Amino acid sequence: AQSVTQLDSQVPVFEEAPVELRCNYSSSVSVYLFWYVQYPNQGLQLLLKYLSGSTLVKGINGFEAEFNKSQTSFHLRKPSVHISDTAEYFCAVSDLTSNDYKLSFGAGTTVTVRA
């Protein structure tokens, strides 16, 4: 079974500053990795995903994440945030070898962008 740990529950950041959200996972097999964003009172939408290949993955809205297999991490970054990036962010992992493709989610990181 796999699990996900998001190391920061809340991240306050000023507008136009960079932000990094940390995610570590544990799994005995190869995995797919995802970051989702949830804006207030909405469902989750996919920011980016790592399936294979290049370890640097670019997503929507200027976000990117780097897969580090040796450190079992998948940290999310944005070089310059906007007020509209205020949201909750979830890291998720799926076992490559399973046939049901369930996702296990971290507890979430709330990002609050201040002017």
Site residues (CB under 8 A) for other proteins? Answer: 4, 6, 9, 32, 34, 36, 42-46, 49, 51, 90, 92, 94, 99-108
Compute CA distances 32 → 51, 55, 110, whole Å. Answer: 5, 12, 23
Question: Long-range contact list for 57-63, CB < 8 A, 24+ apart?
Answer: 59/35, 61/37, 61/85, 63/35
* Closer residue to other proteins in complex, CB, 52/115: 52
* Closer residue to other proteins in complex, CB, 19/48: 48
* Closer residue to other proteins in complex, CB, 15/86: 86
Cα–Cα distance between 52 and 57 in angstroms, integer?
10
Q: What's the min distance (Å) between Cβ of 80 and other proteins?
A: 26
